[in-house]
Structure formats: C-alpha cells, structure tokens
Amino acid sequence: MPNILVKIPRGAFPGGARAQLAHNIEKAAARAEQMPEDPRHRALCWVLVEEIDAGLWTCGGRDVGAQVLTCFALALVPAGVLDAPSRALCVRSMHDAFVHAMPADDTRRLHSSVIVQEVAEGHWGGDGALWTLPALAQAAGYVHLQHLVAEVAA
C-alpha cells in the first residue's frame, strides 16, 4: 500500500513513456511489498508523477539536465511491510522502471535516487481513519502478512 512520489524532468518521458514509467513503478512496489495482482489490492498502490521544469533541478548547484537524466522516487510504505531484502528489491526495481521507460533516443546517463521511507504504525491515515498493520495487510493483500489478518479475526 505504498504512496510513491516520482519526480522527473519535464518532457523526459513523453506520452506513452510517462504512462509506462508509472505502471513500471507500481509493479516494482507491488512486487517488493508482495501485493497480489488483484485490482482491489493494487488500487491501494498510488503513484504520483510530477514533472520538474528545466533549471529547477540541480546537482551540486548546477543544471546537468543536458548530460544526465535525473529521476527521483520517494516510496512511503507502512512500517513492517518490507524487510532489508525487499527494500533492496524495491530500490533496484524502481531504478529498472526508469531505465525501461526511458525513450530509446535519449542518450543521457540515467541517475536515479530512490528513497524508501517507512511510516510508523499508527501514522498511516486513509479516508479519515488511522490504519493498523493488520488492516493494511488485509486491504493490500500482503501475501507474507496474512497471518496478521488471521490473528485479528481469531
């Protein structure tokens, strides 16, 4: 049940490439979080892609957009969903999502920055209510956390 904020340079992923990027990012996060393919669960994986105007994105105080395609993703995930190997998979898969959506005629080097930030238990709100990890596990269908759902039901 991640919320993923993606920032890319304006025009770097035109039209279909931007849609493919959002789709690839969603798949990467869902895979790392072990969410099933069921659309009811996947609807809880939010990806927001924002384009940043040229000159507003600097590296070391310089606009390097002509040489480097910089991409950023912040994945907010409920604490307890990802272990260390899953976080590594998430970061690697999101980088790959940028690589695979990059237009073939773009010859710049790709640099991605992916941050996985855990939201502490009792700090994730949705529709006016705080969610617990068992409730999130049920709603998102986390395969590896279904024992939490069973414990609450018992």
Q: What is the pLDDT of residues 50-96, one digit of tens each?
A: 999 988 888 888 888 888 999 999 999 999 999 999 999 999 999 99
Of 151, 131, 130, the closest CA to residue 139 belongs to: 131
Which tokens sit at 147?
């024992």
| 154: pLDDT strictly greater than 70 | no
Mean pLDDT estimate for the chain: 94
Q: What is the mean pLDDT of residues 26-40?
A: 95
| 124: pLDDT strictly greater than 80 | yes
- Domain coordinates in residue numbering, the chain: 3-153
Q: What percent of the chain has pLDDT over 90?
A: 84
Give the pTM.
0.93
CB atoms within 10 A of CB 19: 12
Q: What is the mean pLDDT of residues 95-120?
A: 96
d(CA 56, CA 93): 26
Decide if 73 contacts 4 (C-beta within 8 A). Answer: yes
Give me the CATH code for the 3-153 domain, please. 3.30.429.10
- Residues constituting the chain: 154
Q: What is the mean pLDDT of residues 10-23?
A: 94
| 2: pLDDT strictly greater than 90 | yes
d(CA 135, CA 149): 7
| 109: pLDDT strictly greater than 90 | yes
28 versus 66: the higher-pLDDT residue is 28
